[in-house]
Chains A and B, each alone.
Chain A
């Protein structure tokens, strides 16, 4: 069996994980192991980000980080961890300027200033970007080049971490599935950073890549860490639904609406926003939560588009304006058979970002000594809703802190690894890799899980629906040992499915239980049976797992 020793283990190699590796090396970590279940620097959410990055650079006019901080605190509806939000806003300008020194290529004015635009919810132009719709890929490519230059960083692709290993209440390493060989591997580590992103993949309609199924939350829960704000999943209201659009991120319609003011029409071709109290005569102004509500209601009332969303039409916009606003993107749409002058597209709310995550202190450490978190996997900074532009700063700023403090934690410490503490997890990987006869493959339940979460734990929730979801998730969890796993361990996708399902079930249950316990509507959490905000619930919940694997959610006392 492959056995590795490292000072710092980083799980997940998107923006947050790569930055954590960059920070751990100069902070004294002799060895940094950066692992990803897909390819290092190519999976996760960072590469998917097309839009903007918020940082108080003051390139367009006066701005500073305390002004930036006011905006996420307002959007978070009273639930932001103000400490974390302040760390995020204060740290963003340095990280964004550093990316510029590393040649990321932020869009600039003719006089050299970095261009900053006003994204929704921000009080002033603060959001920079890389043209055209290329922000995330440019950031990821820049970080990939940097990590390749630092000797202490060892990169490992195709290693899916399945369990963390603890001894005497501290994290001492991890067990993983080497997916190429279909064999277990162990990593003894003095500290571990979870940078696996969020959990949007567990919803049927989402903007996620393949590896955002909530792995990091499941790892942290089982290791004894607390999660927070799990019920707050951001649904992007006008995600692309139909016709099939490939080669583009499904959330790409937002800038089109800002620039061109596209009209939303129901299945009968009628405007419907006014019926929900929104007036768009002066442009695109409907808040995301109201837009999601209106679209969901139209579909529920039988007035949806053929694929179960609504139409977004630009037929009233002169074609010269469309071409001027989006030049090359219009050609990419044409390749998809989409001509905005002639036809509407179908859109619907899709899971886009998760505000919740692992509860950490200001060193990004969870309550488990040696276990850190970075990026979207961290909960608290965004409270009940996230502002556009705050996700990449979160990856870079929290990545820097987590990597730095993980290295400091590791310095001078001995390995606490105990093979015996890893034995059960290693045995489980071996057993799964041996194959299993059964009628139901894990991929079937993954499909059911996503449909169930979309229906019952989606943008609008009720006590009855959540109870059904929680019961069914428990049944699926009980079915795990009997699921079919195909023979042949090497590169066996059914092995990955099984471990993904195991993690996603725990992440899904954590969301559903937190949603059931929050008997009010606030930010991204909306209850049909409790439509009002309850001032008595203006605090975050804590989700934990007990020794027997039971997950509970509740408000802090």
Chain B
């Protein structure tokens, strides 16, 4: 059986940060934790993803402790505080969602 840990995520919510403690099984990703938060703590947390797991859609890119990476392939670490920010250089729309839609694909 995989080890159970608790990750701490500090998430940019616009004007402030919210911190969440997330239980996880070994190997779980940041995206797993964000989906857990949406299902169990705060459904209004705005995130972007599509393929969930396969790392083919590339929609889930954010800044993880200041480094741009995919939430679906970055692992959670037990008992460590990780700070999540929206993609730098893009307009923040809500929480971790930035304006990544190409201009020609907008309404």
Instruction: Please give, as numbers and ranges, the residues of chain B lying within 8 Å of A157 by CB-CB distance.
Output: 101-102, 105-106
Q: Tell me the A residues contacting B by CB distance below 8 Å.
A: 2, 4, 38-40, 42-43, 47-48, 136-137, 155-159, 178, 180-181, 185, 208-211, 242-250, 306, 336-337, 441-444, 447, 484, 486, 488, 490-494, 497
Q: How far is the CB of B39 from chain A (nearest CB, A)?
A: 6
Q: How far is the CB of B74 from chain A (nearest CB, A)?
A: 9
Taking CB as reference atom, which chain A residue is nearest B53? A246
Q: How far is the CB of A105 from chain B (nearest CB, A)?
A: 16
Name the segment of B4-12, B15-23, B54-62, B77-85 touching the other chain: B54-62
Instruction: Please give, as numbers and ranges, the residues of chain B lying within 8 Å of A306 by CB-CB distance.
Output: 1
Q: How far is the CB of A184 from chain B (nearest CB, A)?
A: 11
- Does A246 lie within 8 Å of B27, measured CB to CB? yes
Instruction: Please give, as numbers and ranges, the residues of chain A lying within 8 Å of B26 by CB-CB distance.
Output: 243-244, 337
Q: How far is the CB of A467 from chain B (nearest CB, A)?
A: 28
Q: Which of A4, A42, A249 contacts B57 (CB 8 A)?
A: A42
Instruction: Please give, as numbers and ranges, the residues of chain B lying within 8 Å of A42 by CB-CB distance.
Output: 50-51, 56-59
Q: How far is the CB of A254 from chain B (nearest CB, A)?
A: 15
A310 CA to B84 CA, complexed, in Å: 36
- Does B101 lie within 8 Å of A39, measured CB to CB? yes
A441 CA to B29 CA, complexed, in Å: 24
Q: Tell me the B residues contacting A by CB distance below 8 Å.
A: 1-2, 25-29, 32, 38-39, 43-47, 49-59, 72-73, 75, 93-95, 97, 99-102, 104-107
Most chain B beta-carbon neighbours within 10 Å: one of A47, A181, A493 = A493
- Does A493 lie within 8 Å of B47, measured CB to CB? yes
- Does A159 lie within 8 Å of B107, measured CB to CB? yes
Q: Which of A156, A178, A249, A494 contacts B44 (CB 8 A)?
A: A494
Instruction: Please give, as numbers and ranges, the residues of chain A lying within 8 Å of B27 by CB-CB distance.
Output: 243-246, 336-337
- Does A246 lie within 8 Å of B72, measured CB to CB? yes
Instruction: Please give, as numbers and ranges, the residues of chain A lying within 8 Å of B105 by CB-CB distance.
Output: 39-40, 155-157
A395 CA to B28 CA, complexed, in Å: 33
Most chain B beta-carbon neighbours within 10 Å: one of A38, A306, A491 = A491
- Does A491 lie within 8 Å of B73, measured CB to CB? no
Q: A159-B107, A244-B29, A443-B43 are in contact. Are A249 and B101 (CB under 8 A)?
A: no
A484 CA to B27 CA, complexed, in Å: 32
Q: Which of B46, B49, B54, B73 contacts A249 (CB 8 A)?
A: B54
- Does A493 lie within 8 Å of B50, measured CB to CB? no
Taking CB as reference atom, which chain A residue is nearest B38? A443
Most chain A beta-carbon neighbours within 10 Å: one of B25, B53, B54, B97 = B54
A447 CA to B35 CA, complexed, in Å: 11
A490 CA to B94 CA, complexed, in Å: 7
Q: Which of B2, B29, B55, B104 contacts A242 (CB 8 A)?
A: B2
Q: Which of A43, A137, A181, A246 contacts B50 (CB 8 A)?
A: A43
A155 CA to B100 CA, complexed, in Å: 14
Q: Which of A47, A246, A442 contacts B56 (CB 8 A)?
A: A47
Q: A39-B59, A159-B107, A337-B26 are in contact. Are A209 and B50 (CB under 8 A)?
A: yes
Taking CB as reference atom, which chain A residue is nearest B95? A491
- Does A486 lie within 8 Å of B58, measured CB to CB? no
